[in-house]
Amino acid sequence: VSDSDLLIDHHREARTGVPELVYGASKTAAQVVAALRDLAADGRGAIATRVDAAKAAEVCAALPAAHYHEVARVIELAAAAGAAVRPACAPIAIVCAGTSDVPVAEETAVVAGFLGAPVVRITDVGVAGIHRLLARVDDIRACGVVIAIAGMEAALPPVLAGLVDLPLIGVPTSVGYGVSVDGLVALGALLASCAPGITVVNIDNGVGAAVAAVRIGRLAALAAAGMKAAR
Amino acid sequence: VSDSDLLIDHHREARTGVPELVYGASKTAAQVVAALRDLAADGRGAIATRVDAAKAAEVCAALPAAHYHEVARVIELAAAAGAAVRPACAPIAIVCAGTSDVPVAEETAVVAGFLGAPVVRITDVGVAGIHRLLARVDDIRACGVVIAIAGMEAALPPVLAGLVDLPLIGVPTSVGYGVSVDGLVALGALLASCAPGITVVNIDNGVGAAVAAVRIGRLAALAAAGMKAAR
Amino acid sequence: VSDSDLLIDHHREARTGVPELVYGASKTAAQVVAALRDLAADGRGAIATRVDAAKAAEVCAALPAAHYHEVARVIELAAAAGAAVRPACAPIAIVCAGTSDVPVAEETAVVAGFLGAPVVRITDVGVAGIHRLLARVDDIRACGVVIAIAGMEAALPPVLAGLVDLPLIGVPTSVGYGVSVDGLVALGALLASCAPGITVVNIDNGVGAAVAAVRIGRLAALAAAGMKAAR
Amino acid sequence: VSDSDLLIDHHREARTGVPELVYGASKTAAQVVAALRDLAADGRGAIATRVDAAKAAEVCAALPAAHYHEVARVIELAAAAGAAVRPACAPIAIVCAGTSDVPVAEETAVVAGFLGAPVVRITDVGVAGIHRLLARVDDIRACGVVIAIAGMEAALPPVLAGLVDLPLIGVPTSVGYGVSVDGLVALGALLASCAPGITVVNIDNGVGAAVAAVRIGRLAALAAAGMKAAR
Amino acid sequence: VSDSDLLIDHHREARTGVPELVYGASKTAAQVVAALRDLAADGRGAIATRVDAAKAAEVCAALPAAHYHEVARVIELAAAAGAAVRPACAPIAIVCAGTSDVPVAEETAVVAGFLGAPVVRITDVGVAGIHRLLARVDDIRACGVVIAIAGMEAALPPVLAGLVDLPLIGVPTSVGYGVSVDGLVALGALLASCAPGITVVNIDNGVGAAVAAVRIGRLAALAAAGMKAAR
Amino acid sequence: VSDSDLLIDHHREARTGVPELVYGASKTAAQVVAALRDLAADGRGAIATRVDAAKAAEVCAALPAAHYHEVARVIELAAAAGAAVRPACAPIAIVCAGTSDVPVAEETAVVAGFLGAPVVRITDVGVAGIHRLLARVDDIRACGVVIAIAGMEAALPPVLAGLVDLPLIGVPTSVGYGVSVDGLVALGALLASCAPGITVVNIDNGVGAAVAAVRIGRLAALAAAGMKAAR
Amino acid sequence: VSDSDLLIDHHREARTGVPELVYGASKTAAQVVAALRDLAADGRGAIATRVDAAKAAEVCAALPAAHYHEVARVIELAAAAGAAVRPACAPIAIVCAGTSDVPVAEETAVVAGFLGAPVVRITDVGVAGIHRLLARVDDIRACGVVIAIAGMEAALPPVLAGLVDLPLIGVPTSVGYGVSVDGLVALGALLASCAPGITVVNIDNGVGAAVAAVRIGRLAALAAAGMKAAR
Amino acid sequence: VSDSDLLIDHHREARTGVPELVYGASKTAAQVVAALRDLAADGRGAIATRVDAAKAAEVCAALPAAHYHEVARVIELAAAAGAAVRPACAPIAIVCAGTSDVPVAEETAVVAGFLGAPVVRITDVGVAGIHRLLARVDDIRACGVVIAIAGMEAALPPVLAGLVDLPLIGVPTSVGYGVSVDGLVALGALLASCAPGITVVNIDNGVGAAVAAVRIGRLAALAAAGMKAAR
């Protein structure tokens, strides 16, 4: 199993609009380096997620152009100047309830940014003080799509879904102890929500939320451009 | 196992402030009749819960003084005139999100009423339309204790816990389908809530919530009387 | 708890773009009739889901204008002539693997249609004969958003997510026996998918998928109109 | 995500009677310091829970006035002399079965004490030697509210609930091995208890129990004062 | 699959001290009849468990000597006069908390009786009124082995295990609703008990408890005879 | 919480025949030392279980008379010469399938030995080579009670239960990976066994099995003595 | 969704060696009839599984050539005289522990027979009487592949796997009550087995076991023919 | 428990065609050495699995002829020159979706190779890029049996099962996070697959898959030889 055994799917961006993203948790540093190099060969950069600090140090030593987002645990090779630009994307609101959810929010933000999306971060608006969320509803409505990140009882996304008409993606997080330790309660709460229209991704899955939001955000950007042109 | 084998705990009200309540689901109609008669012998009435309509008809035929609360599935033998009165209890707010939760809310209300508590019902204030809840906060604050009943993602009690300073008991319900069919998600969400101070009872357990609320509501009634006297 | 106790959220469509939809499973026929009448008062019609055949007969007897979609278990009151039209929506592809998934697919289709979305149904394209799916990829790409419905091991949505660049919503179904009887395996498989960009709703939740897809499909319709205008 | 991003909910005590309490497990030492400083600015002190010894050392180095309760894993900044005093609270009995439950009991006691409650600790009264519990019933009855803490099969709280008429909050703990390793059996046993009137909080959740008990204990203190005045 | 296909294990009593007992739930009436006839051919009778009333009527019509224990759901063919007598067995105390557990207690009692054990039934001694149990401890100590049957939180067996020195077998029952509906909480509580020495059988498994108790009770009978002889 | 807070239940052996045994996992070394000293004050020795090597070294340094059984993870203070002798106990067969189960078997053996039981160890007789078990059946029949210890699919105890007429206690172990990692499959298999008469203790619970077996083994010793006297 | 919407995969037998088999549980009688007719058009017959008696009566009324296997719940349209014959298959031993497993064994046998496999049924050889299994080992060894069907603790397949060198497929069944009610314990036990070489299918999945066994049995038939030719 | 206590089952290969394989995870280095030496005494070599790097270093120091397969975590003692050769086996295709599954694939490959099977490795053919799998179908068809290894949603084996007519064994792996962290979703997906004929082993159980595949592959080799001879 040498590093050169990797069979990168180079046509994925052509088929699906989004390139292959390297899942770093189960790869060695050498495998991450090889995969990033291979993916970035077209000049549009590359991303590896779930990379802890020690592995990141090894990778960045081998790839001086790489940047490590510490809170997000993401390594990013930026696109080269002059590379093909990705399609325009409407702003994505990334809303979360407290500091515990910030690592997942940052993973989401970095991946979305790499894929060309402007990001609006809204933090510390948990439902235990509902006025904080109500104060930010207009900021959220100004975006094209919303990602709501929540652990424990995950009550924030259902409340938010009743306040806006945007596509809304919920990300449950594995925060807390007792019944909430592994995020299954938050996941269940988002799936069971009585506010129709919420869709959900795996626990702590910032990458999946970002990719789904970008697919939608690109439509929203086109829609906004069309409405502007129509005026 | 004849009906006379029942070993009623007649001193329970003296020890715990609340008499034995008959759990009707696993008893025959004859056993329910025998238990209600035995318990009501002191003139203070008796209650049997989880009695379906067919069994209730049999019981009420044998006990003409009994009243069947159909939605609540509770049979009540009212206290006799002149019987010892139970202690005063502050009003209990029984708050629920939608019509699906009404049977549990009614079980709660009937039991609480039997134990001497005034009840304030507040229905259809789910978080998908948060303004409906905000409009009723003052009505809730006027009570001595709150019971919040919620199924699916159970987001109502955490939001409410951040708005009032009363003791708040959450009752998860087994409403819905898919992940919410048995109420475990609602139970988990209430236990995991980031709003400290919520306590929880078993799924669909209106009886337990009513008893716990009455224990607190009696303190609240004494407190209110004390404060009034102090003015 | 009289039927008039319902507290319909009449401003929900203004806030979220989608009106309240009646969840029929835990309501009596009389409550369903009252809710449909109340919601349809603005002339734009109304929908009740999870209504079995017996309850539907009662409702339709009281509401002669209502139509019962038997496979979908949905009652629909169509919009009145001249009522305000809902926003344009791009076509939604509703893809499913076999006849077992058809009831959920129909619920999805009826709700999406009521909300103004054209629907393209693609059935019997399970992965045990992958050529059947490959033959329909172009039909799917011609839509604005995809809903993929799958029970058992739910392998269809991940395969599809690697073939198209559209927003893709997965709906797990409770089909089969043994480990798949309640749909939890299908739900887990969709959440765990290695194909990023899939988002998921509750098991058998055709309503939630339809609402989420319509929020996206309206953006796609605007985008398509904009692109057309730009030519 | 700088430390200054924290959005402390300063009005929570005014709304709910209890200030925001810092959940230390998912915060850095710097974030804990910032949150404690911000919360304590009104002179009434602050609390951070779930702080391990290493993080506590960092926090206490930055905040010399802070005290670390080692068994409880809580950092406390005491109220300043002359600060507004919290409402009177009746004594809270904190009852537990064995030494394994002591860390949760201590977390409960420290938080309750910070909120102004006198605490009566009763330890090593497990049901395997029921006489030990019976010997302490009068001490428990002299309090205003009871918190019963129990792991494994959690038989102590149901026995106790049949002996007293006080509000009783059960806290399941994650003690033991095999089926009891994560506390789910203890949680289930408390929820399933046939002794009505027990309410429950999350596994190991001393904070939640303390806050709920204080909300009740303040009513009990008013009640006791009223009864005294009435004599 | 004709009825004659049954391959009865006629040497089981010689090897294990207890004959094969017919599990009636998954057999047709004809299969139950055939199995009972075959087993009873040695004159020592036979037992079929988990037989509902309708199937029992069919079986008893074919086997006039059979007796149906309705509450226990057991069909018994008594031993013929003059058949080989089973070994002496010490009395077995069958203790349960409430009327809900009586069907399992009766299954246990009938099977134990068939195997030659005297049975002492002690019912309605749940821990919510602990004095009822304490009043019966001497009756229990007079037996040779104890079977404690309990649903919900199953607190009775651990309390009892701390009061007697007899072998004690716990039987969890599937009584109640919410978290206790399937008996898993009661099972977990018995296994997690901090009172060492309790052993446990499957949920509602009166047969297994009876067989295990008889194996022990026969030793206890020999022990008692030996002690008597030694005096 | 000083070490002197321990409330040892000194009358437990008088009530239940077995002294309190110290559960070492959740105690500090100082607490273990204090508990062992207190319990051993009557000269009959004491036991602490679940003590890892590091904690054991601390304890043995403070209690030079203590012996650490490394594989069993048990610390034993032997009874003093001349102390009251425990009742005679028949030999206990401790049967296990493979080397993975040996630590639990050793915990069982050490505790049983401390309580006065002779122990016969039979190892490596897993069902994948059934002849190994058949070769040892006579050795097992010569004992008074059997403890069968098994992880993974736990097929050994059911096979054994069909071969002997002794009381048989099954101990599931947490051996293996995948579905067997936490012992729940082994536990379930023992509870579900079609061989009636097996009783079960918690996963890895050698202590509970030893105590239960000793309660039975003492009866068996009396029975054997009686039978001998009768000859 | 008319009956003609079925998209039968007619090339499946060419690709995989086994034709599409109709899963009858989620189809109407009309859909089953249409699917069977379509599949049988090539003269090689067709099978529908999981068909209850009422639906079977409807199907057989429409398809007089169809035969309903009642215990197996399978409808079979036999191959026409002169149709292409399926490849030779070695005998398949179908071994099960008791009468409870017979319906799954029959489903397995009927499907295997339809696909051209001779079947050897061996029933009532549960491990509670191990001699019954040992007596049949030679009969099993004479087959080409073994399917072992077992519910409850599923100890039979691991014992058997240690006695023969044939490919062995385990089928867990949903037999019993308490922990074994849904077959998950039996499934877990088969997966956890310490006897390597067992492979497993879904609970009650006789169809899957038959198809897998036939794929292997055809190789075994060729092997046997080759060995015979070589002599 | 000395090392010499091991009771190796030397006749297992004669009975089952495959020798005992040492499960290294729960053995000390000394026990692994003793077991390997004992098993290899017949000259045919031996295997120990689940050996981490540190333990492997100890074992290899004591057994210089041993080779440690690092990725597979397997220690192999090769057969001696001139030892009895194992039966011929057809090539086994080991197919996996990504680099995360490689450790399990390597364990499978090393064990299969030791048992005499040629192995064809096919990696990085996940369904997110289905063309990669389609390109390799002919290579797979050229083998005698297929092992498909997959984590997360495990969609690869069902797709593959619809493309080939070979016996196919699925191995779920514990790859990923959130719902897929322990491999239960992958296991469930393989068991629930709508593509009949897949059989499954425990999560990460490369050994079990290899043994089952070799049992089949030996039949396939005989079949191929027979077909060749027949030409």
Q: In this predicted model, what pLDDT tens digit does every residue of C114-149 receive, in sequence order? A: 999 999 999 989 888 889 999 999 999 999 999 999
Contacting residues of B for C205, CB less than 8 Å apart: 177-178
Residue D128 has its nearest CB partner, among E127, E191, E194, at: E194
Contacting residues of H for A50, CB less than 8 Å apart: 177
Assess G177–E contact: CB distance below 8 Å, yes or no. yes
Assess F130–G contact: CB distance below 8 Å, yes or no. yes
Q: Pick the closest to residue B188 from A156, D174, D193, A179 (CA basis).
A: A179
- Closest chain G residue by Cα to residue H203: G191
Q: What is the DSSP string of E2-41?
A: -GGG----TTHHHHHSS---EE-TTS-HHHHHHHHHHHGG
Q: Contact G124/G98 with Cβ under 8 angstroms?
A: yes
- Residue in the block written with tokens 């993606």: A169
Is B130 close to A191, i.e. CB distance below 8 A? no
Sign of the CA dihedral E218, E219, E220, E222?
A: positive
Show the tokens assigned to H171: 């191995």
Show the tokens assigned to A126: 């948990």
Query: Which DSSP state fits F2?
Result: -
Mean pLDDT on G134-159: 95
Assess H136–A contact: CB distance below 8 Å, yes or no. no
Q: Contact F158/G155 with Cβ under 8 angstroms?
A: yes
Q: Name the 3-class secondary structure at G119.
A: strand
- Residue in the block written with tokens 């008692």: E224
Contacting residues of H for C192, CB less than 8 Å apart: 152-153, 176, 178-180, 185-186
Is B192 close to A179, i.e. CB distance below 8 A? yes
CA–CA separation, G179 vs B27, rounded Å? 25
Over residues B108-139, the pLDDT tens digits come to 999 999 999 999 999 989 888 889 999 999 99
Question: What's the per-residue H, E or C state across C34-70?
Answer: HHHHHHHHHCCCEEEECCCHHHHHHHHHHCCCEEEEC
- Interface probe for D, chosen from A123, A177, A180 (most Cβ of D below 10 Å), is A177
Q: Contact G165/H15 with Cβ under 8 angstroms?
A: yes
Is F197 close to E216, i.e. CB distance below 8 A? no
CA–CA separation, E97 vs E127, rounded Å? 8
CA–CA separation, A88 vs E15, rounded Å? 79
pLDDT at G5: 52
Q: Pick the closest to residue D196 from B12, B151, B145, A179 (CA basis).
A: B12
Q: Name the 3-class secondary structure at C215.
A: helix
Q: Taking the CB of residue B225, how many other CB atoms lie within 10 A of it?
A: 18
Over residues B61-92, the pLDDT tens digits come to 999 999 999 999 999 999 998 898 999 999 99
CA–CA separation, D61 vs D78, rounded Å? 16
Percent of chain C residues past pLDDT 70, beyond the cut: 97
H-only helix segments in G72-129: 102-114
**Angle in degrees, 0-180, between the axes of helices G184-192 and F184-192, rounded to the nearest 10:** 120
Q: Pick the closest to residue B34 from B14, B5, B13 (CA basis).
A: B5
pLDDT at E181: 84
Which phi-psi region, left, alpha or beta, contains residue A147 (left: φ > 0; alpha: ψ -120 to 50)? beta
Contacting residues of C for A144, CB less than 8 Å apart: 219
Question: Edge-to-edge strands of the sheet including H119-122?
Answer: G119-122, G92-96, G145-150, G168-172, G198-200, H198-200, H168-172, H145-150, H92-96, H119-122
Please report all neighbours of E, defined by 3+ CB atom pairs within 8 A: B, D, F, G
Over residues C56-111, the pLDDT tens digits come to 999 999 999 999 999 999 999 999 988 989 999 999 999 998 888 999 999 999 99
Is G189 close to F194, i.e. CB distance below 8 A? no
Question: Edge-to-edge strands of the sheet including A66-69?
Answer: A22-23, A46-49, A74-77, A66-69
Is B199 close to D169, i.e. CB distance below 8 A? yes
Q: Contact G108/G209 with Cβ under 8 angstroms?
A: yes
Mean pLDDT on D96-115: 94
Residue B179 has its nearest CB partner, among A153, A180, A188, at: A188
Q: CB neighbours of G220 closer than 8 A, spacing ≥ 6?
A: G89, G90, G144, G145, H219, H223
Q: CB neighbours of E74 closer than 8 A, spacing ≥ 6?
A: E47, E48, E49, E51, E68, E106, E107, E110, E111
CA F40 to each of CA F58, F80, F118: distance values in angstroms, whole numbers, following the listed order? 18, 9, 22
Over residues G98-126, the pLDDT tens digits come to 888 999 999 999 999 999 999 999 998 98
Contacting residues of F for E187, CB less than 8 Å apart: 191
pLDDT tier at C5, thresholds 50, 70, 90: low
pLDDT tens across the length of chain A (231 residues): 344 456 778 888 989 999 999 999 989 999 999 999 999 998 999 999 999 999 999 999 999 999 999 999 999 999 998 898 999 999 999 999 888 899 999 999 999 999 999 999 999 898 888 899 999 999 999 999 999 999 999 999 999 999 999 999 999 999 889 999 899 999 999 999 988 889 999 999 999 999 999 999 999 999 998 888 777
Query: Which DSSP state fits B80?
Result: P
Q: Contact C171/C112 with Cβ under 8 angstroms?
A: no
Please report all neighbours of H, defined by 3+ CB atom pairs within 8 A: A, C, F, G
CA distance B103 to chain A (A): 18
CA–CA separation, G219 vs B184, rounded Å? 49
Pairing between strand G66-69 and G74-77?
antiparallel
Please report all neighbours of D, defined by 3+ CB atom pairs within 8 A: A, B, E, F
Q: Pick the closest to residue G114 from G142, G92, G86, G90 (CA basis).
A: G86
Show the tokens assigned to F205: 């619970």
Q: Name the 3-class secondary structure at C169.
A: strand
Q: What is the DSSP string of F154-200?
A: --HHHHHHTT--S-EEEEE---SSGGGTTSHHHHHHHHH-SSTTEEE
Distance of CA E61 to the CA centre of its chain: 26
Q: Contact H184/F182 with Cβ under 8 angstroms?
A: no
Contacting residues of G for C181, CB less than 8 Å apart: 182
CA–CA separation, B144 vs B222, rounded Å? 11
- Closest chain C residue by Cα to residue H198: C128
- Interface probe for H, chosen from A202, A204, A207, A211 (most Cβ of H below 10 Å), is A202
Contacting residues of F for H7, CB less than 8 Å apart: 123-125, 132
Q: Which amino acid is at B128?
A: A
Please report all neighbours of B, defined by 3+ CB atom pairs within 8 A: A, C, D, E
Asked which of E113-117, F77-81, G111-115 is least confident by mean pLDDT, the reply is F77-81
pLDDT at D6: 61
Over residues B156-191, the pLDDT tens digits come to 999 999 999 999 999 999 988 999 989 999 999 999
Q: Pick the closest to residue H77 from H98, H102, H52, H59 (CA basis).
A: H59
Assess A27–H contact: CB distance below 8 Å, yes or no. yes
Could you give phi then psi for residue C142, rounded to 5 degrees? -75, -10
Q: Contact D197/D161 with Cβ under 8 angstroms?
A: yes
pLDDT tier at H114, thresholds 50, 70, 90: very high
Q: Contact B20/B8 with Cβ under 8 angstroms?
A: yes
Is A128 close to B184, i.e. CB distance below 8 A? no
Is G194 close to F97, i.e. CB distance below 8 A? yes
How deeply is H216 buried, as exposed, middle or buried, from its count of CB atoms within 10 A (0-12, 13-18, 19+)? buried
Contacting residues of H for C134, CB less than 8 Å apart: 130
Q: CB neighbours of D228 closer than 8 A, spacing ≥ 6?
A: none
Q: Taking the CB of residue D229, how many other CB atoms lie within 10 A of it?
A: 12
Please report all neighbours of F, defined by 3+ CB atom pairs within 8 A: D, E, G, H
Q: Contact E121/E105 with Cβ under 8 angstroms?
A: yes
**Angle in degrees, 0-180, between the axes of helices H184-192 and C184-192, rounded to the nearest 10:** 120
Over residues E151-205, the pLDDT tens digits come to 999 999 999 999 999 999 999 999 889 999 899 999 999 999 988 889 999 999 9
Could you give phi then psi for residue E108, rounded to 5 degrees? -60, -45
Distance of CA C18 to the CA centre of its chain: 13
Residue F155 has its nearest CB partner, among G158, G176, G185, at: G158
pLDDT at H220: 95
Q: Do chains C and H touch (3 or more CB pairs under 8 A)?
A: yes
Q: Pick the closest to residue C213 from C121, C156, C146, C166 (CA basis).
A: C146
Average pLDDT score, chain G: 92
CA–CA separation, H109 vs H217, rounded Å? 13
Q: Which amino acid is at D78?
A: A
Distance of CA G36 to the CA centre of its chain: 18
Is E185 close to D180, i.e. CB distance below 8 A? no
Give the A:C interface size as CB pairs under 8 Å.
Answer: 139
Residue E129 has its nearest CB partner, among B9, B184, B205, at: B9
* ipTM of model: 0.94
Q: Pick the closest to residue D18 from D200, D216, D170 (CA basis).
A: D216
